């Protein structure tokens, strides 16, 4: 593992017409579809060029997936292959922290998100999400809570508090972002497990497939309370959600992966249905329609915004720092396929502009904001990196 404190790479964040033309002029994956309202896709160029510096804090990470800061300025970082590590404020990387739950690290599984409790200085509490083995090749998204030992080397008092039901023999689409709301409840984003058989059940009310769930910090159901739904279900009709964050009003926003086309920005409301797989602005990977190939139906919610072609969103933060005041309230989303940081300029709960920054930096798996307003990125690779992004004066 290597820290490179002296490597500062200046990067101009292009917000000129040439940059906007590049991604807005690409042919859509799902041709022939039309947005439901103006500005729902291909928003104009986000205004305001900013110069950035990027610093590789740590490299040599094995497909890092999630991160969260600790009060002392260090970070907890997950590696999908099954390691939880601490990155100190000076970039020193710890050995793997012991005491993790059992994992199924096949495919897109393994150790996924990590969340630090707001009262960590007193409780030393964290939450983890992961692909939990369920026997006979099956698995399911699990969530556990634990306390980090005083020396930071092990997890103690580990307790599993949630498992997505039912388990499936699939190694894809675990969802898995963790967000605490202002009431101390835990949102867990989930996926529909990718394969045709589980995907077809995403509209069913008796499972967690394609659902967003809300639970208490120890797992007690705290869902929408909709009749017929499982008590922890908040909303349904989602595909694979790997981006989630609260805005300044305490509302949850998510960005979910579409198939071939149709990545979606949603602001999920309790008890509502977001349509997958009945409606989508994407198509299947073989070019055939999903279901009847429709993009709207009465009773199903429209996305606030969608991408076609996709960015493959993973990780997001709604910016409220001081380093980039022109980005206050904007959404910064990691792009796996886009290999960029994607900025959405939000005005009145609509997307007024879009920008692609740091293009070519790698598959951006997670985005977080540091205490000083800088940004931290994780790149998903065999030799994954944790990168600090600051303003270049």
- Taken as a whole, the chain contains a residue count of 393
pLDDT at 393: 75
Question: Does the active-site annotation cover 173?
Answer: yes
Q: What is the 3-state secondary structure (H, E, C) of 31-98?
A: CCCCCCCCCCECCCECCCCEEEEEEEEEEEECCEEEEEECCCCCEEEEECCCEEEEECCCCCECCCCE
Is the distance from CB of 351 to CB of 265 less than 8 angstroms? yes
Domains of the chain, CATH where assigned: 1-62+300-393 (no CATH), 63-237 (2.120.10.30)
pLDDT at 351: 97
d(CA 276, CA 291): 10
Strand partners, 55: 8, 388
Per-position pLDDT tens, the chain of length 393: 434 333 344 444 433 333 444 788 889 988 889 999 999 999 998 877 788 999 999 999 999 999 999 999 999 999 999 999 999 999 999 999 999 999 999 999 999 999 999 999 999 999 999 999 999 999 999 999 999 999 999 999 999 999 999 999 999 999 999 999 999 999 999 999 999 999 999 999 999 999 999 999 999 999 999 999 999 999 999 999 999 999 999 999 999 999 999 999 999 999 999 999 999 999 999 999 999 999 999 999 999 999 999 999 999 999 999 999 999 999 999 999 999 999 999 999 999 999 999 999 999 999 999 999 999 999 999 999 999 999 997
pLDDT at 127: 99
Torsion angle of C-alpha atoms 376, 381, 384, 390, degrees rounded to 10: -30
Report the SS3 class of residue 302. coil
The 10 Å Cβ neighbour count of residue 239 is 27
Report the SS3 class of residue 170. coil
d(CA 103, CA 172): 14
Which single residue is written with the structure tokens 């699939």? 170
pLDDT at 24: 85
Return the ∠ at Cα 29 (arms to 28 and 30), rounded to 5°.
95
Residue from 63, 173, 208, 238 carrying the catalytic annotation: 173
Helices (H), 291-331: none
CA nearest neighbour of 100 among 156, 174, 140? 156
| Edge-first strand listing for the sheet containing 384-391 | 8-13, 50-61, 384-391, 375-379, 364-369
The 10 Å Cβ neighbour count of residue 157 is 11
DSSP state of 283: B
């Amino acid at each position: 593992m290597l820290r490179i404190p002296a490597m500062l790479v200046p990067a101009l964040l292009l917000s000129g017409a040439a940059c906007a033309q590049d991604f807005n002029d690409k042919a859509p994956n799902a041709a022939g579809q039309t947005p439901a309202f103006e500005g729902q896709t291909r928003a104009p160029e986000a205004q305001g060029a900013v110069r950035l510096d990027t610093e590789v804090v740590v490299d040599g990470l094995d497909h890092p997936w999630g991160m969260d800061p600790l009060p002392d300025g260090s970070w907890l970082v997950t590696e999908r292959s099954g390691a939880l590590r601490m990155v100190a404020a000076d970039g020193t990387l710890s050995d793997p922290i012991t005491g993790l739950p059992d994992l199924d690290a096949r495919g897109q599984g393994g150790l996924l998100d990590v969340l630090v409790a707001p009262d960590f200085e007193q409780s030393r509490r964290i939450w983890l999400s992961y692909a939990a083995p369920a026997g006979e090749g099956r698995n399911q998204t699990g969530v556990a809570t634990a306390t980090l030992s005083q020396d930071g080397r092990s997890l103690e008092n580990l307790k599993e508090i949630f498992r997505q039901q039912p388990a499936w023999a699939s190694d894809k689409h675990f969802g898995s972002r963790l967000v605490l709301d202002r009431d101390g409840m835990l949102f867990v984003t989930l996926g529909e497990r990718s394969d045709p058989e589980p995907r077809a059940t995403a509209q069913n009310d008796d499972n967690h497939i394609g659902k967003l769930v809300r639970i208490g910090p120890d797992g007690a159901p705290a869902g929408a309370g909709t009749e017929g739904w499982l008590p922890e279900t908040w909303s349904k009709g989602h595909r694979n959600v790997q981006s989630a964050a609260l805005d300044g009003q305490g509302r949850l926003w998510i960005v979910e992966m579409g198939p071939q086309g149709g990545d979606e920005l949603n602001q999920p409301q309790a008890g509502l249905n977001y349509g997958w797989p009945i409606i989508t602005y994407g198509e299947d990977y073989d070019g055939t329609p999903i279901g009847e190939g429709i993009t709207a139906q009465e009773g199903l919610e429209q996305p606030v915004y969608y991408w076609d072609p996709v960015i493959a969103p993973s990780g997001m933060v709604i910016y409220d720092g001081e380093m980039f005041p022109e980005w206050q309230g904007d959404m910064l989303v990691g792009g796996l396929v886009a290999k960029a940081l994607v900025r959405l300029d939000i005005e009145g709960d609509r997307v007024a502009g879009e920008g692609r920054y740091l293009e070519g930096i790698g598959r951006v798996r997670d985005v977080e904001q540091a205490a000083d307003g800088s940004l931290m990125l994780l790149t998903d690779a065999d030799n994954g990196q944790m990168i600090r992004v600051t303003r270049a004066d």
